[in-house]
Amino acid sequence: MARDSTRSVHGTEELDKLTGSVLAPIYQTVTFGFKKADEVAKAVTGESGDFVYTRWDNPTTRILEKKLADLEGAADCAFFSSGMAAISTAVLANVKKGDHVLATRDLYGEAYRLIHDVLPGFGVSTTLVDTDDLRAMEQHVRKNTRVVYTETPTNPTLKLVDIRGAAKIARSVKAKLIVDNTFSSPIGQQPLKLGADIVVHAATKYLSGHSDVMAGAAAGRKEDIDRIRRMRKVLGGTLDPHAAFLVIRGIKTLAIRMQKHNDTAAALAAFLESHSKVKRVNYPGLESHPQHALAKRQMKGCGGMLSFELKGSIKDAMHFTESLKVATLGASLGAVETLVVQPATMTHTQLTPGDRRRTGISDTLIRVSVGIEDAEDLIDDFEQALAKVRVGPA
């Protein structure tokens, strides 16, 4: 049962003990009843392991949590109502007033806001360093750094963080290294095996894979996940049991989807790199990627996310995105359908133009979440949309 697809389909799941149901039952209930009063006491303290109240724990969600823990090589996992619920709860479970958080600069928008804007208001100081610069991380880590937070590959420029290197730096001050593994999924890379302490996910994306459910997760050692669960009880970002069922169903095809995402993205990246109206392509699987060697070391597959810069103006790039017919112009990623965004006008408008330039987000950068359509159809679609763009000044 060791391989990716078998684990995605079966993993830790068992036939339902009561009925033999092949799929996880949906325990769509808020609360659980008891026959004896002393059973309640034992359940509330956690002594018996019985379920009490769904904000704390739910049997369907538990089945999902074991399944993702298995895929990430984690002892335990906690699920949440969104990726941001998972990220904020995992970070807040590990910091208090007077602590320091060190993070890489290229982060998902709201994760950036949490670390850059929200934490300092609670007395937690934060430092952001360039994503591909381990030396800066080494320089800025402090004795009171409790969390090193990072994301790899990054959104939307597909830079990589050396997880092994970051783990060593975090360990040197006994901080927890938290890695957002949304872009790779556990099929593409397993940060815990590379030394991370906690992996977080927007399960809204690849894990679910069908743009139909919001969910998030944190996975890691038992004591770390216990602490995060206690914080989840307080903050309340628990996953609904029906949504848990949808994520379980999504994960069943995770490995086969990721293979297709990898292959199609590689084909589209190669096509774009050879096109005269494209200035550059960011995809870790391309030999031209500055960290291609690191990608080969720490990733099993390079995933379905890529971005590229068009020659021309911001208007040309907008015109290109409007001209696509198979791909859809829209936020989100990691699903079966191909989605494109222009970060400068859509997802990264909160950054100043200077900050955007600094992180490599030019006006004509286009991020593509490559779906599982046929590569030939996607290439044809991008080709016809590129044909509609005039060749602007390089």
Ligand X SMILES: *Cc1c(COP(=O)(O)O)cnc(C)c1O
Q: Give residues in contact with ligand X (CB under 6 A).
A: 82-84, 108, 111, 151, 155, 180, 182-183, 202, 204-205, 214, 216, 333
CA distance 130 to 118: 20
CB nearer to ligand X: give 5 or 332. Answer: 332
Q: How far is the CB of 382 from ligand X (least distance, A)?
A: 22
Q: Is 133 annotated as catalytic? A: no
Annotation says 36 is catalytic: no
205 is catalytic: yes
Find the shortest distance in angstroms from Cβ 223 to ligand X.
24
Angstrom distance (rounded) from CA 92 to CA 169: 21
Q: Which residues contact 355 (CB under 8 A, 6 or more apart)?
A: none
The one catalytic residue among 62, 76, 108, 162 = 108
Distance CA 74, CA 192 (A): 7
> What does the chain come to in residues?
394
Task: CB nearer to ligand X: give 111 or 372.
Answer: 111
Q: What is the DSSP letter of 335?
A: S
For the chain, what is the largest distance between any 2 Cα atoms, rounded to a whole number of angstroms? 77
Nearer to ligand X, 179 or 379 (CB): 179
Three-class SS state of 350? coil
Residue with Cβ nearer ligand X (8 or 208): 208
Contact 269, 285 (CB under 8 A): yes
DSSP SS3 for 285: coil
Q: Rounded to an integer, what distance in angstroms lies between the CA atom of residue 277 and that of residue 391?
A: 6
Q: Structure tokens of 94?
A: 């590990």
Contacts of 54 (CB under 8 A, 6+ apart): 27, 29, 30, 31, 61, 238, 241
CA distance 70 to 274: 40
Residue nearer to ligand X on the CB measure, 21 or 350:
350
**Nearest residue to 258 via CA among 326, 194, 332, 184:** 184
249 is catalytic: no
Q: How far is the CB of 216 from ligand X (least distance, A)?
A: 5
CB of 218 to ligand X, least distance (A): 12
* Residue least distant from ligand X (Cβ): 83
Q: Are 338 and 368 contacting, i.e. CB atoms less than 8 angstroms apart?
A: yes
In the complex, minimum distance from the CB of residue 82 to ligand X, in angstroms, rounded to a whole number: 3
Q: Which of 132, 180, 197, 240 is catalytic?
A: 180
Instruction: Point out the catalytic residue in the list 105, 146, 205, 367.
Output: 205
CA-angle at 47, arms to 45 and 49, nearest 5°:
100
How is the beta sheet containing 365-369 ordered, strand by strand? 278-282, 305-310, 365-369, 339-341, 328-329
Closer residue to ligand X (CB): 216 or 312? 216
User: Where in the sequence numbering do the catalytic residues fall?
Assistant: 55, 108, 180, 205
